[in-house]
């Protein structure tokens, strides 16, 4: 998911007893009746986020470079992140790019420049498409854009305001490979600055007009976040650096959006922003209050920005540099504080109601350490990058886990069964009359909400899950068989058995198999870890991939003992297929997700209906609610099952 932020640094195998059957409706928010339109609007948060980036640890190492500073980071999955900034090569400032491969950070080759250069931000729409932005020049500066194509970084021609001597891009956000927005400032030294914005259409960058009316002296963008080509929010400062500012992009033009300033504070600056959907953003930064800098957090509800209370760790200074939200109820903001002397890392975690200080590490032996950027991958981790003063400047990396725990089942009558502290029960449709049976469920990124979907496409939302629409009132060519939630929880996809795909909220349409003649019906779907693509799977194991979902293989040409019933895309990339006999197929077959075991050779009481993945393994569920965990030794925790309970209706899905 992820949005890019500007971050200012300097320049078990058995089913056990003991489950609870939850019946009766206890909806969080306003669930839409199957076959009806439902009720749109914000969901009711009934529990805090079950996962937040609250505990950080330092990375074991990053490649040693002279004068190295990380200013930006973007991750697409657990096996691919990019960090950018600058380094000193022979005393000359040059761009720095490092890439995370799933186990280590490696130094990437960067194009040679004819002048000094640095990168301030990066955004990856897939593991084969990234845009990094910054500036290049000596006495004057010009915009710098570098693009990753999956194997090589190259400089891409980028526009500049020609009537000024300085052009710099501080932020970039790419919701797809065919649209990016970059933001920064243009101006003359000692003169008035103005916001600078440029958009990418898949082949070229073009300047966009940015209004300045009412923004006072020297407005400047420092960060931008886009959820689609028709929705971006850029933030920064204005009035000579004393006021916060924001502008919104609607697909054709930028408009100024009023932002508040903390009472009694000066030198106010918003340095990071992260948006979900079309009507929710969080921006972070700082303001100077009498004797010290204080953290600043502002939240946008679709029409108005408001200040949200945020804590401070230091007595001298507290400055937030970047933010990433992987749901409306869970965000991570990073920066630094100064207790008395020396900078130390600072991070805040949002749980849907409150910002709290997180535990963060610092570089051993360094007087100063700070975090300048953060990128979170749902159900994996938040990655924070920055620098320390060790040996002048040294890149610094840290991470905070945000993997969910526990699991939930749903039965065809809408009954929900919840296991594990990380999977609280938030309501069900078990006691309610349904127009059509429930066929699946999907969990919100922070574990504090979930959706149920019926075969007519009716949507039922609980906890933090927000109703964005349904096919309940439509005449469908084929029944709905599954759904998936976007990486930021701001929308969802439905898929029908003919391969038709329906999008709601901030879920983007990347394609469908609705017009194809299928050998076998579609039985499920899975979104990629960054939510910029999805897979459809047919009962013969055929795979259809869209967006940044890469085809890694299929069982379509195999003779199967039993039909495929589900698919899961782990955070490390690739995908698993599961058959009704519990047979597991992993793709790619070489170097892909590990095979941990299956029930393919076991006589089952009931057929397998689905699987869900966790770090280091996966769960399978039978239609009786029997749970099988793999690997069987040192594998995922078994929290319980309905395997020994007489159910009113069969289990049809499992979600972690």
Element (H, E) at 334: strand 330-338
Mean pLDDT along residues 333-347: 96
116, 136 Cβ separation under 8 angstroms: yes
**Claim to verify: residue 83 and residue 180 sit in the same structural domain:** yes
- Closest to 651 in 3D by CA, of 440, 450, 483: 440
Locate 387 and state its tokens: 């620098």
What order do you get walking across the sheet with 449-454 strand by strand?
A: 438-443, 449-454, 459-463
- Closest to 197 in 3D by CA, of 188, 209, 187, 180: 209
The per-residue pLDDT for range 164-215, each reduced to its tens digit, is: 889 999 999 999 999 999 999 998 865 678 999 999 999 999 999 999 887 8
**Claim to verify: residue 471 and residue 371 sit in the same structural domain:** no
Tell me whether residue 133 is in a domain: yes
Q: Which are the contacts of 443, defined by CB distance < 8 A and separation ≥ 6?
A: 404, 408, 423, 449, 450, 485, 655, 656
Locate 498 and state its tokens: 């003919």
**Claim to verify: residue 413 and residue 466 sit in the same structural domain:** yes
The residue range of the domain holding 563 is 407-655
Spell out a b/e string for 58-73, using b for 16 or more CB atoms within 10 Å of the CB, else e.
Answer: bbeebeebebbbbbbb
User: What are the helix (H) ranges across 175-226?
Assistant: none
Spell out a b/e string for 451-462, using b for 16 or more CB atoms within 10 Å of the CB, else e.
Answer: bbbbbbbbbbbb
Tell me whether residue 57 is in a domain: no
Q: Which of 375, 401, 427 is the last residue of a domain?
A: 401
**Claim to verify: residue 396 and residue 443 sit in the same structural domain:** no
Question: SS3 for 116-172, per residue?
Answer: CEEEEEEEEEECCEEEEEEEEECCCEEEEEEEECCCCEEEECCCCCCCCCEEEEEEE
Q: Which of 401, 418, 447 is the last residue of a domain?
A: 401
The per-residue pLDDT for range 57-92, each reduced to its tens digit, is: 999 777 778 889 999 999 999 999 999 999 999 889
So what's the pLDDT on residue 36?
Answer: 33
DSSP code at position 391: T
Tell me whether residue 29 is in a domain: no
* Interstrand relation of 220-228 and 205-208 (parallel, antiparallel or unpaired): unpaired
Tell me whether residue 526 is in a domain: yes
**Rounded CA separation 596/598 (Å):** 7
The position carrying tokens 């955070």 is 571
Radius of gyration over every alpha carbon of the chain, rounded to an integer in angstroms: 25
**Claim to verify: residue 196 and residue 217 sit in the same structural domain:** yes
Among 27-36, 402-411, 615-624, the least confident range: 27-36
Tell me whether residue 568 is in a domain: yes
The position carrying tokens 């289990």 is 651
| CATH number of the domain to which 608 belongs | 2.130.10.10
**Claim to verify: residue 372 and residue 490 sit in the same structural domain:** no
Q: Please give the distance of CA 150 from its chain centroid, rounded to a whole number.
A: 20
* 46 — pLDDT class (breaks 50, 70, 90): confident
Q: Which of 378, 401, 424 is the last residue of a domain?
A: 401
**Claim to verify: residue 169 and residue 100 sit in the same structural domain:** yes
**Rounded CA separation 85/322 (Å):** 14
Q: Considering all CA atoms of the chain, what is the largest pairwise distance in Å, rounded to the nearest integer?
A: 78
**Claim to verify: residue 290 and residue 434 sit in the same structural domain:** no
Tell me whether residue 35 is in a domain: no
So what's the pLDDT on residue 191?
Answer: 60
| CATH number of the domain to which 319 belongs | 2.120.10.70
So what's the pLDDT on residue 28?
Answer: 28
**Claim to verify: residue 302 and residue 367 sit in the same structural domain:** yes
**Claim to verify: residue 470 and residue 392 sit in the same structural domain:** no
Tell me whether residue 17 is in a domain: no
Residues of the chain above pLDDT 70, percent? 93
**Claim to verify: residue 361 and residue 289 sit in the same structural domain:** yes
Q: How many domains does the chain have?
A: 2
Burial class (CB in 10 A: 0-12, 13-18, 19+), 291: exposed
So what's the pLDDT on residue 213?
Answer: 82
Tell me whether residue 32 is in a domain: no
**Claim to verify: residue 310 and residue 446 sit in the same structural domain:** no
Distances (CA, A) of 643 to 413, 608, 630: 17, 12, 17
């Amino acid at each position: 998911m992820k949005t890019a932020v500007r971050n200012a640094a300097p320049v078990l195998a058995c089913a056990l007893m003991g489950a609870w059957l939850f019946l009766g409706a206890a909806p969080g928010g306003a669930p839409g009746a199957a076959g009806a339109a439902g009720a749109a609007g914000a969901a009711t948060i009934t529990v805090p986020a079950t996962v937040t980036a609250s505990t950080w640890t330092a990375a074991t190492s990053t490649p040693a470079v002279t004068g190295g500073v990380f200013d930006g980071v973007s991750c697409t999955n657990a096996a691919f992140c990019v960090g950018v900034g600058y380094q000193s090569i022979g005393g000359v400032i040059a761009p720095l790019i490092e890439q995370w491969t799933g186990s280590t950070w490696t130094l990437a080759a960067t194009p040679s420049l004819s002048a000094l250069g640095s990168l301030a931000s990066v955004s990856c729409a897939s593991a084969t498409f990234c845009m990094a932005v910054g500036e290049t020049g000596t006495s004057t500066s010009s915009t710098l854009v570098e693009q990753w194509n999956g194997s090589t970084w190259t400089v891409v021609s980028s526009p500049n305001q020609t009537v000024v001597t300085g052009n710099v891009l501080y932020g970039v956000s790419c919701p797809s490979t065919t649209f990016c927005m970059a933001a920064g400032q243009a101006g003359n030294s000692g003169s008035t600055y103005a916001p600078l914005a440029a958009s990418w259409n898949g082949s070229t960058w073009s300047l966009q007009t940015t209004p300045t009316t009412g923004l006072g002296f020297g407005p400047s963008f420092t960060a931008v976040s886009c959820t689609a080509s028709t929705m971006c929010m850029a933030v920064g400062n204005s009035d000579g650096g004393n006021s916060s500012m924001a502008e919104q992009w609607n697909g054709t033009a930028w408009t100024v959006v009023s932002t508040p300033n903390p009472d009694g504070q000066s030198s106010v600056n918003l340095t990071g922003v992260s948006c979900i959907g079309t009507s929710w953003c969080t921006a972070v930064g700082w303001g100077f209050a009498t004797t010290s800098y204080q953290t600043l957090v502002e939240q946008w509800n679709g029409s108005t920005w408001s200040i949200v209370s945020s804590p401070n760790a230091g007595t001298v200074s507290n400055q937030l540099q970047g933010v990433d939200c992987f749901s409306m109820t869970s965000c991570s903001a990073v920066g630094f504080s100064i207790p008395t002397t020396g900078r130390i890392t600072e991070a805040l975690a949002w749980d849907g109601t409150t910002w709290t200080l997180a535990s963060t590490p610092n570089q051993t032996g360094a007087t100063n350490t700070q975090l300048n950027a953060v990128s979170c991958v749902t159900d994996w981790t938040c990655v924070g990058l920055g620098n320390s003063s060790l040996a002048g400047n040294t890149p610094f990396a840290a991470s905070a886990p945000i993997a969910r725990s526990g699991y939930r089942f749903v039965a065809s009558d809408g009954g929900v069964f919840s296991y594990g502290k990380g999977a609280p029960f938030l309501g069900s449709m078990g006691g309610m009359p349904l127009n059509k049976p429930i066929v699946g469920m999907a969990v919100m990124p922070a574990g504090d909400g979930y959706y149920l979907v019926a075969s007519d496409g009716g949507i039922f939302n609980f906890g933090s899950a927000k109703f964005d629409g349904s096919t309940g009132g439509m005449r469908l060519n084929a029944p709905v068989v599954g759904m998936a939630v976007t990486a930021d929880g701001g929308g969802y996809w439905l898929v029908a058995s003919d391969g038709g795909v329906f999008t709601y909220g901030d879920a983007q349409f990347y394609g469908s198999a609705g017009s194809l003649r299928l050998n076998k019906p579609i039985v499920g779907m899975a979104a990629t870890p960054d939510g910029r693509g999805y897979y459809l799977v047919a009962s013969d194991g055929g795979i259809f991939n869209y967006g940044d979902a890469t085809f890694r293989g299929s069982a379509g040409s195999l003779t199967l003992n039993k039909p495929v019933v589900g698919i899961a895309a782990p955070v490390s990339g690739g995908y698993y297929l599961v058959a009704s006999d519990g047979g597991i197929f992993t793709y790619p077959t070489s170097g892909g997700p590990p095979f941990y075991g299956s029930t393919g050779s076991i006589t089952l009481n009931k057929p397998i209906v689905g699987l869900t993945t966790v770090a280091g393994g996966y769960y399978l569920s039978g239609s009786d609610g029997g749970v099988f965990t793999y690997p069987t030794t040192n594998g995922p925790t078994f929290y319980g099952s309905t395997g020994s309970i007489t159910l009113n209706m069969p289990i049809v899905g499992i979600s972690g």
